[in-house]
Amino acid sequence: MEKVVVIKNLTKIYKNGFEVKALNDVTLDIFRGDFLSIVGPSGSGKTTFLNVLSGLDVPTSGSIIIEGHDITRESASAVADVRRTRLGFIFQSFNLIPVFSALENVEFALILRGVEKEERLRKARDILLAVGIDEQMMKRRPHDLSGGQQQRVAVARAIVGQPALILADEPTANLDTDNALGLLDMMKKLNVEMDATFIFSTHDPRVVDRALRRITLRDGAVISDEKVGS
Amino acid sequence: MAGGRLPLIRLAWRNIWRNKRRTILTVGAISLYSFLFLWYIWLSYGAQEGMLDNFARILTGHIQIHAKGFTDDMSVMKRISDPQPFISAINEEKHVIAYSARIKTYALAAANENSSGGFVLAVDPEREKTVSNLYLALSAGRYLSPDAHNEIVVGYVLAENLGVKVGDRVALMVQAADGSMGARRFTVVGLVDPGMVELNNSLILMHLGDAQALLSYGSAVNEITVIVDDLGNVDRVWQSLRGKIDTSKYEVLTWDEVSPELVQLNDLTWAKFILLMTIFALVAALGVMNTVLMSTMERVREFGIMMAMGVRPGQVTRLILTESFMISLLSVLIGFGAATALGFITQNQGISLKVFGAPDYLAQFGLGNAVLFTKVNWDGFIISLCVIMGMGFLASLYPAIRTGRLQPIKALKFQ
């Protein structure tokens, strides 16, 4: 299987008067098509892992190689380029750009990738329709959409550029059960149809149950990495 | 991996209208500043030209020709014995609209039991009217007759000091060109108030023929004053005349060489303008910086999202600078529009400063009529545009760079 991410000896230590080892010598590979959940109790390092993996936070030591780019050794601009071209994000609180409509939020991800206007409008529409956002909803700004609709737009934005890796931090935390299950079905479908690689940090058993691979963290260290479905 | 360009214009435009009230207040304040800046700079140009023109039209003209060294000591020995070749050369200049041959000297004036120093300006009365507005400044009596009749017109303060009025006689004593003392009695036919303190105190205007007789000058003069159609053409005419005149024996001077104090006054006026506008600019800049800082602080988390999506730090900085540019541009459009409208009105109709009780003060600066006109020009427009847009740019630079340097993770966690 093709390795999308190679992580070696990743350690993150926070120093706030006293030292906290948020990640402790994590080494693992992530493969194309993985549908992977990161689980563990609060404070186990799930969010830190996603932040460091995405280059939003800087590790204390170790390396992260995403499709050949070692983001721990590159400049802030170069890491931004990696995020733009190879990563997609789904945040817990949706985090859409409030002055843009749903369509423009998705289009924005393609603008950053330099996609031509006609193509990006077509792609943005197609992906929004695929996640259940119709033409009327596409024109609305985030504050005129429900939480579930906003999260669907956020998913569409994350995947529209067909990134190598989609990172989702507690994606169902702010959704009711129906919306949460709908979102999971949609992501699973994208995982299968587009061979998209998903990594979730989650507490939500509904997410854990759908994952194909589960990594458990405790005190910043990987205590298990198991295949849980097919 | 350069990626696509951020939709800066669209994003910035929508961002600035998120908080309409704040944007309107900021645009209003900068518009007012833009309006004041541009209109005031045009007023300063107009006041400068008015002042220089007033001075030129009262005494100095735009260009003066003398025997070499005359300006240093105004010695009666330094004269132009035959003014005709100079006049011919002046007549060849297409930008010259008027000239006048004159004699200038100092005299001791005495009447009753009073005496006072006087500044004699001897002219051909009719020709002088084409270069000088002194004949319009009569406060009593009449102007000089076309022919020499031992008549004088004097500054009204000098008349008061001598205790004379129209019709009285004044004795003048001068040093003549032959070394003797010339003395003669003249009849005061008029009093002038040219709006310049020095002239009010000392001016004695007389016929050129009378002065030539008094000074034993023959047909000589000691100054030829030239008026040019536009201040911008003074240097051109000056260069041309210098090419035709023997500058080893004669001096050809422009108004600023003749009256360096006028240049200093002009410089002082501009210095005051720059000081005032710098204070205004600092206040306006603080306003812009405050608005941009507030606006960026509110959106730190959003910038974090954009960075997480791969927007580069430099692109975030450019976005904030674009927002500030738009606010400045909008303000400039409004402020400059209003300033241009008012500028054209005050260029045609002027502003009377008499309501501010300023004529006496202005008289010292050659603005005795106390009416100021704006001069609408591109120079003022471009200077104002650069200052205001530059101010907006500099004021937003700090918040823009600061935001561009945010760490994405900290920005995303910002509450």
Predicted confidence at residue B361, as pLDDT, reads 47
Q: How far is B306 from chain A (nearest CA, A)?
A: 8
Which residues in chain B (18-37) have CB-CB distances under 8 A to chain A? 18
Is A85 in Cβ contact with B301 (below 8 Å)?
A: no
**Would an 8 Å CB–CB cutoff place B77 in contact with chain A?**
no
Q: Which domain holds residue A217?
A: 3-227
Is B167 near chain A, with CB under 8 Å? Answer: no
pLDDT band at B132 (very low <50, low <70, confident <90, very high): confident
pLDDT in tens, A126-167: 989 888 899 999 999 999 999 889 988 998 898 888 888 999
Domain tally for chain A? 1
Q: A102, A112 in Cβ contact below 8 A?
A: no
pLDDT of residue B359: 55
Inspect the interface and report whether the beta carbons of A85 and B311 lie closer than 8 Å. Answer: no
Nearest CA in chain A to B15: A99
Mean pLDDT score, B204-219: 92
Q: How many angstroms separate the CA atoms of A200 and A178, rounded? A: 19
In sequence order, what are the residues at sequence separation of 6 or more whose Cβ sits closer than 8 angstroms to the Cβ of residue B322?
B8, B9, B12
- B371 to chain A, minimum CA–CA distance in Å? 52
Query: What's the rounded Cα separation, in Å, for the pair B83 and B348?
Result: 39
Burial category of A162 from C-beta neighbours within 10 Å (exposed 0-12, middle 13-18, buried 19 and up): middle
> Cβ B310–A95 below 8 Å, yes or no?
no
Query: Which band of pLDDT confidence, cut at 50, 70 and 90, is reported for residue A35?
Result: very high
pLDDT category, B280, cuts 50, 70, 90?
Answer: confident
Selection from B281, B369, B304, B323 nearest residue B32 by Cα: B281
Instruction: Write the pLDDT tens digit of every residue in B220-237.
Output: 999 999 999 887 889 999
| Biggest CA-to-CA distance, chain B | 98
Q: Give chain A positions within 8 Å (CB) of B12.
A: none
Q: What is the CATH number of the domain that holds A170?
A: 3.40.50.300
- Give the model's pLDDT for residue B231: 79
- Within B215-356, residue ranges assigned H as helices are 234-244, 255-258, 260-297, 300-308, 313-349
pLDDT at B362: 53
What is the rounded CA–CA span in Å between residue B411 and residue B297?
Answer: 10
Euclidean distance between CA atoms A196 and A191, whole angstroms = 5
What does the pLDDT read at residue B1?
47
The better pLDDT of the pair B180, B156 is held by B156
Nearest to A109 among B18, B309, B409 (CB): B309
CB contact under 8 A, B3 and A114: yes
pLDDT at A85 over 60: yes
Q: Which two three-digit tokens encode residue A115?
A: 């996609």
What order do you get walking across the sheet with A3-15 strand by strand?
A19-31, A3-15, A61-66, A69-70
List CB contacts (< 8 A) between A115 and chain B: 4
SS3 A20: strand
- A89 vs B contacts (CB less than 8 Å): 305, 308-309
CB contact under 8 Å between A99 and B11, yes or no, is: yes
Please say if the pLDDT value at position B102 is more than 90. yes
B298 CB contacts (<8 Å, ≥6 apart)?
B19
Interchain pair A56, B308: CB under 8 A: yes
Q: What is the pLDDT of residue B339?
A: 96
Q: What pLDDT digit, counting tens, does each position of A91-131 carry?
A: 877 788 888 899 999 998 898 888 888 999 999 999 898 88
Residue B12: Cβ-neighbour burial (10 angstroms; 0-12, 13-18, 19+): buried
CB contact under 8 A, B314 and A77: yes
- Cβ distance B313 to A76 less than 8 Å, yes or no, reads yes
Q: Residue A209: what pLDDT?
A: 83
pLDDT tens for B349-390 read 888 776 666 555 455 444 555 678 899 999 999 999 998 899
Give yes or no for a contact between A221 and A10, defined as CB atoms under 8 angstroms apart. Answer: no
Q: Which of B295, B311, B312 to mutate to test the interface with A (most CBs of A within 10 A)?
A: B312
Q: Is residue B226 helix, strand or coil?
A: strand
Q: And the tokens for B171? A: 């004795």
Mean pLDDT on B322-343: 94
Name the average pLDDT for chain B: 87
Segment B165-205, tens digit of pLDDT: 999 999 999 988 888 888 899 999 999 988 778 889 999 99
Chain B partners within 8 Å of A95 (Cβ) = 301-302, 305, 412
The complex scores an ipTM of 0.82
The helix (run of H) or strand (run of E) holding residue A200 is strand A198-201
Confidence of residue B137 (pLDDT cuts 50, 70, 90): confident
The answer to whether the CB atoms of A97 and B306 lie below 8 A apart is yes
Phi/psi class of residue B276: alpha, beta or left (left: φ > 0; alpha: ψ in -120 to 50)?
alpha
pLDDT (tens digit per residue) in A187-207: 888 888 878 899 988 888 877
Lowest average pLDDT, out of A215-219, B11-15, B249-253, goes to B11-15
CA distance A194 to A69: 22
Cβ neighbours of A97 in B, within 8 Å: 11, 302, 305-306
What is the DSSP code (8-state) at residue B57?
I
Give the chain A residue nearest B2 (alpha carbons): A81
Phi, psi at residue B13, to the nearest 5°?
-60, -45
B1, B308, B409 ranked by CB distance to A85: nearest:
B1
Q: Which residues of B touch A51 (CB under 8 A)?
A: 409
CB contact under 8 A, B3 and A81: yes
